[in-house]
Structure 1
Amino acid sequence: MGGAPVRPAHYPGGVLLTKRSEQRAGQPGAVDLAAAEPLAPVTLPAAPALLSTEDGLIVRATEQAAQLAGVADAQELAGRRLRELVVRSGPAYLLRAPDGDLPVRPTTWPASEDDRLRITLLTDVRDLAAAPDPGAGVDDERRRLIEAQRISRIGSWMFYPDTGEFYRSPVLGEFLATSPGADSEDVFSLIGSTHPDDRERAERFYADLLTATTSAPVEFELRNSGGDRVYLCTGRAEHDRSGRIERIQGTVQDVTEHRALENRLRDEQRRLQDAQQVARLGTWELDQCSGKMWLSQMLHQIIGKPCSSPTTYDDYLAHVHPDDLQRVRGAWRPLFERHEPVEIEHRYIREDNSVRILRVHGTAAERAEHGPLLVGTAQDVTEQRAVVTRMERTSQRFTDLVSITPVGIGLFDQDEQLVDANDALCDLLGYRLAQLRGKSAQDITHPAERGAGLPATGEQPGSRRRVPQRVLVRSDGEPVHCELHASTSVQDDGAKFWLVVFQDITERRRAAEALRHQATHDDLTGLPNRAAVKDLLGELLGADDAASVAVLFCDIDNFKRINDSLGHDAGDELLVALARRLEGGLPAGCTAARLSGDEFVVICRDIADVGGIDALATRVSGLLRTAVPVHGQLIRVSAAIGVAMPTATSGGGDDLLRFADAAMFEAKQRGAGKVSLASPALMASADRQLHLEGQLREALNNDGLVLHYQPVLDRDGRIVTAEALVRWPHPDRGLLAPDAFLPVAKQGDLLRDLDRWVLRTALREAADWPASTCVAVNLAGLVPGAADFVSTVSALIGETGIAWDRVVLEVVETALVDLPSRTRAEMAELVERGVRFAVDDFGTGYSSLARLKELPAQVIKVDRRFVTGVGGDASDFAVARAVVDMAHAMGRSCVAEGVETPVQFDVLRGVGVDAYQGWLFSGAVPAEQFRALLALGPMPVPAD
């Protein structure tokens, strides 16, 4: 703690402690004045004053100080330690003098001429020490401060790291009075006063303060050594001009009662939740303006809806039983219109189609800022109503039972023989009542479940038991699946009997099986889907003979062209025909499945049983290489096939599918109908692609991409638009163009996220361009028809502040074909606000020019493949001129892509193209460089 000036000061009501481990003058570590660096001359006040070094060595004293110290010459004080000359005695300081110690009040501050020196002013306080009333004046204020600390349960402390001096207020002393180390003279010994489990955090608290570089407060909580009190400790470091910590001060607040109150509140909340759980009672709030509802966790559980799913009033009404809906609407109307309390009981259809009975209470609660809020409770009273119903049925016997429910009901005596039954049970089992009477539970149970008997419900009357499924047998021998609800009761004579409800769940089982089939099979072809493929691969790869499993990934060649030219119905018909060929032509032990689109998968359990991988691949390729009649035309198709088998390094089914998919892409690159086996090199490449996908995902999340802009000029060279083109500054591979990572984004389902990033960034950067310059963004994942297309585009335009009429959204031609009316209406909504849509690469979508009038776009971009040959190819020239003429006739503007030569520009200008984009003017440049282009004004264009 040594090596810094003494910083004594007077603190009202405090105790000033000094660390005793300081080195004295003459001991090792004392300053050698002869060897020290020259010190700047310092002017001392004309008063008892001392000049000392950083480690407390006195180098000069005034005559007034010598006179006060009782020495003849001021030089006699030089070389002594300040802490030995001025010592603490209780709450006061004493000046050592030959004739006796004198009470003084030392005040120390840095010398302005030399920061290495400290000036200490000694004030003679003998008159104060002899005063008869030490509690007057300042002491009264001190006592009031101490009393205020005591009332607020806050103690204060102050610590000088250079000297080890530590001050604590009396209240802090009271906190630590019974703690070990409370009377210690070292601030760090207070760590021993904490609970053992908190000691490490206390040490870290002090360490953080001793190394703090700012004056920001540091705080933490600790318990005393007994663990019965909790204290909130706060500290703050104060620095001198050089940044060295001069002083640390802080407070210690007793927050035991606060924490106890918080714990009680948490306990109360838990007990409230437990009470709601027991009572099956939930709470709700409804914002009448927005229709949004907040439901408690218990209410979410009651209605069978996940807590993460938002709920509105309309959602609630959608689940009200249709027979109760009109009555429910009428009951809510007084609450909505006049804020009158409401109480209603109705049936509610849960997400799993089960029906619950809810008793709903509602009222209006006033809010200071937002007006009334509708609040209330909803209780699941299904079981209560069932009890009431059973009581009524008991009193009315089976006569009322028959009229209440259509399910089968039987009354069995204590020997489990049927005594009575309703018509529904007779119809269910195919007997007349006279035939059923006297039959035992075993007689009506299917032989496969004989011995089950009636459900054991316990000895207590009223005990109930539900059996989810029991197979009974009809009189004609046919099985019937039932759900049993059994209840025991006692007759008037004390005899025990069973009341059993038989609910026919045969159709429910069939529906459940149909749902399971639907969940695991493709709707179009009926083949197993992706979920079923993963389950099957998981089962096969977990077996001992997993090494013999093979996966064939098949992709139909040129399927998109068939879809675009003949329509989706024709494409669907082709897929169904190919699925039937696979089902009928695969050898035993092989399963065909459809993943999505035109992708099929064949899974072989044992490749040896089918003659090896080559034989199976040849067979599958032959099944998919065929001519299929579709819509009166004979369509010849083939498929690229990728094959993968488990290896020592491959993981589960997902990896096997991924490797087979990668092999399929390799086969497709070799040509139509090719087959490729996933080699180790290909698997390693697939792993790298997966790694690249992870890096791309991280880059999207951390704004690790950049945009370049390619200008679009009018015929006079003015930049009217800039197309935003994304680039990826990869940490290892340098700046990547889109063709290097867009396939990865597509495979990883990142195109939508990538579009959002590009659109947001482009609009934000373009907002600072001149108002006459628009920005065009090409969309591939976030396209018209997506659920959040309009909301996302609107939100981003509003967020960036760019004008709506400066935004151009480019979409490929095929994405704008056969759009439903809803999607066209959404696009029209954006167009009304000023947004324009552009058809990118027009002419490459395998469609006729007649389709131009159907495209909901205002800008047509002629593909570069037609622009390239306009100067010498008559066909390209004819296509370009036809597109321009038809576009102008329909009120659309034309942009030519890929303009690279003056000849192309001259020809296109001659046919009336409105704007031009290409290397003849500029490639895609970074944002800063593009702003520089804008500042230069119109760009030069070839002369006529």
Structure 2
Amino acid sequence: GGRGSPEEQERMMLLHQATHDALTGLQNRRGFSENLQQALSVVDEPNATALLQIDLDGFKAVNDTLGHGTGDTLLQLAAGRIRDTLQDGELAYRLAGDEFAVIQSRTGQPAEAERLAGALIEAFKAPFMINDIPVFVGASIGIAFGPGHATEGEQLMKAADIALYAAKRDGRGCARIFNRSMQLLLEQRENLRRSLRMALDRNELYLEYQPLIRAPASVVGFEALLRWRHPEVGTIPPSVFIPIAEADGLMDEIGRWVIEEACRQATRWPSSLTVAVNLSPAQFLSGSLTDTVAQIVDAVGIRADRLELEITETVLLEQTVDNIDTLNTLNVLGIRIALDDFGTYYSSLSYLKNFPFDTLKIDRYFIKDLETDRKSQTIVRSIIGMAHGLGISVTAEGVETPGQAQWLIREDCDYLQGDFLGRPLGAEATRDFIRRSPKELIRESGDEIWRSSVRPHA
């Protein structure tokens, strides 16, 4: 009745070491793969086996700031919390780094997997106390069912991974169950990523230019808008491809091309006209922006004050000291700086005190119901007053009606932009637009009040 021979004990110990993770004591990837395949082979219903892939949100930050010792302690505590949440027919594994998994073999799916995922997310809401410091990490979970989603272990892991990706994209700290449309989305995204890498070389990216009008009716410049003409899919909107470019580290190269292309185009316009370019957060934080801009302005031979760079407030939330340096350097170079979408994110007034802005752009959200909504009117009026008091000029975006334009002109808004005043144009068409007199512009919009306050080009 003893515990077997010493050889037997040693063999058991080696087996345990081979299939378990030394740090957390959970089974490791080797144990996981064997058990998953085994669970999938005992099949009686499509959702018999649930696989939950668990990633810790914010673990990398803890490791980077508090060190690997704290990171290891955190992984041990996290493994403990996962283990404590489990019931019969549920087994936890540590696959790698901060990646854990649970195989759940219970009847009553998918409800049981959802219950467990909810309990795990809840378990990670309380802080982990490490050396008396409260450390917060959440959990994101992807769920897939075998054999319904896949009959092979590898494929089921892939499905759970795709669901985990969806959970992270939906804001982290949540669980998502795999479905086919997630896979299609991911495949489309992969295809786009591959195409985007080649889009610059293949001349598929191009710029359109939306006129910027000084009230009441002179063209003062254009905003350059990036477009992608994909050979098979057609035109792809920036809201789809810019996040991919940022995630793939392509934004620096694309951003450089946009600034250079826009500046070259501007040299073909009258020298009083400006060109505005949107900067992505990735570009702004890359550290090489000021050098890039200085080189381009030099190479193209354009006056620095004809280039305006637009940044959104989200950029300013990151590492502010560097940001102030970057903005100040651009300012010293003579580049104009606009704060885009003002009023929609955090709109901290401290930005306006600390950063050297030339222009505030009021987001279209406040412009669209200007004619009828008293609150919008009050907000826009106060933004204009405040900006002018700080020596900053104001552009209204998304002006779509004569009524909006009249109201803004009455309230002393400096610049207007929107389809009513001029849609985005190809490079060639901008020259015609500039040549036409403002009177024609106004006659096309067919508005008397607008016409009565016309003045020639600056």
TM normalised by structure 2 equals: 0.70
- Aligned with residue 799 of structure 1, among 284, 288, 299: 299
- 2:34 matched residue in structure 1: 544
Please give the per-residue CA displacement for 1:83-132, whole angstroms capped at 9, x wherever unaligned: xxxxxxxxxxxxxxxxxxxxxxxxxxxxxxxxxxxxxxxxxxxxxxxxxx
Contact 1:650 1:656 survives alignment (8 Å)? no
Q: Please say if 1:738 is aligned against 2:241.
A: no
1:639-678 counterparts in 2 under 5 A? 641-643=141-143, 647=150, 659-664=162-167, 675-678=175-178
- Aligned with residue 720 of structure 1, among 211, 214, 220: 220
CA RMSD between the two structures: 4.0
Letter in 2 for 1:604: A
- 1:642–1:873 CA distance, 2 compared to 1 (3 A): farther
- Aligned with residue 606 of structure 1, among 93, 103, 117: 103
Q: Which has the higher helix share?
A: 2
1:844-859 counterparts in 2 under 5 A? 844-849=344-349, 851-859=351-359
Contact 2:359 2:394 survives alignment (8 Å)? yes
Report the Cα offset of residue 784 of structure 1.
3.7
Q: Please say if 1:775 is aligned against 2:275.
A: yes
Q: Please say if 1:688 is aligned against 2:191.
A: no
Report the Cα offset of residue 774 of structure 1.
0.9
- 1:606–1:657 CA distance, 2 compared to 1 (3 A): closer
- 1:810 matched residue in structure 2: 310
What is the distance in 2 between the residues matched to 1:804 and 1:650?
59
Which piece of structure 1 moves more, 831-840 or 849-858?
849-858
Letter in 1 for 2:218: R
What is the distance in 2 between the residues matched to 1:776 and 1:814?
18
Letter in 2 for 1:586: I
- 1:750 matched residue in structure 2: 250
- 1:908–1:580 CA distance, 2 compared to 1 (3 A): farther
Q: Secondary structure at the match of 1:891?
A: coil
Q: Secondary structure at the match of 2:370?
A: coil
Note the residue ranges of structure 2 that are not aligned, 5 or more in a row.
1-22, 40-50, 59-64, 66-73, 84-90, 129-136, 454-458
Contact 1:730 1:736 survives alignment (8 Å)? yes
Contact 1:766 1:775 survives alignment (8 Å)? yes
- 1:582–1:717 CA distance, 2 compared to 1 (3 A): farther
Identity %: 29
- 1:542–1:725 CA distance, 2 compared to 1 (3 A): farther
- 1:688–1:593 CA distance, 2 compared to 1 (3 A): same
Letter in 1 for 2:100: I
Count the aligned residue pairs: 375
- 1:898 matched residue in structure 2: 398
Please give the per-residue CA displacement for 1:307-352, whole angstroms capped at 9, x wherever unaligned: xxxxxxxxxxxxxxxxxxxxxxxxxxxxxxxxxxxxxxxxxxxxxx
Q: Secondary structure at the match of 1:606?
A: strand
Contact 2:150 2:156 survives alignment (8 Å)? no
Report the Cα offset of residue 698 of structure 1.
1.1
- 1:699 matched residue in structure 2: 199
Q: Secondary structure at the match of 2:308?
A: strand
Q: Which has the higher strand share?
A: 1
What is the distance in 2 between the residues matched to 1:926 and 1:654?
47
Letter in 2 for 1:735: T
Letter in 1 for 2:34: D
- 1:879 matched residue in structure 2: 379
1:533-572 counterparts in 2 under 5 A? 539=29, 543-545=33-35, 547=37, 550-552=52-54
- 1:861 matched residue in structure 2: 361
Contact 1:816 1:855 survives alignment (8 Å)? no
Contact 2:216 2:409 survives alignment (8 Å)? no
What is the distance in 2 between the residues matched to 1:893 and 1:579?
52
Report the Cα offset of residue 541 of structure 1.
9.7
Please give the per-residue CA displacement for 1:787-826, whole angstroms capped at 9, x wherever unaligned: 2111111122223222211111100013134754454233
1:63-142 counterparts in 2 under 5 A? none
1:93-242 counterparts in 2 under 5 A? none
Contact 2:140 2:164 survives alignment (8 Å)? no
- 1:616 matched residue in structure 2: 116
Report the Cα offset of residue 546 of structure 1.
5.1
Q: Secondary structure at the match of 1:643?
A: strand
What is the distance in 1 between the residues matched to 2:321 and 2:355?
12
Q: Secondary structure at the match of 2:311?
A: strand
What is the distance in 2 between the residues matched to 1:673 and 1:715?
48
What is the distance in 2 between the residues matched to 1:581 and 1:907?
60
Letter in 1 for 2:92: G
Report the Cα offset of residue 652 of structure 1.
9.1
- 2:81 matched residue in structure 1: 585
Contact 2:120 2:139 survives alignment (8 Å)? no
Q: Please say if 1:923 is aligned against 2:423.
A: yes
1:431-470 counterparts in 2 under 5 A? none
What is the distance in 1 between the residues matched to 2:166 and 2:280?
25
What is the distance in 2 between the residues matched to 1:749 and 1:620?
33
Contact 1:895 1:914 survives alignment (8 Å)? yes
- Aligned with residue 908 of structure 1, among 408, 424, 444: 408
- 1:826–1:606 CA distance, 2 compared to 1 (3 A): same
What is the distance in 2 between the residues matched to 1:794 and 1:907?
39
- Structure number with greater CO (CA < 8 Å, separation at least 6) is 2
What is the distance in 2 between the residues matched to 1:715 and 1:831?
26
Q: Please say if 1:761 is aligned against 2:261.
A: yes
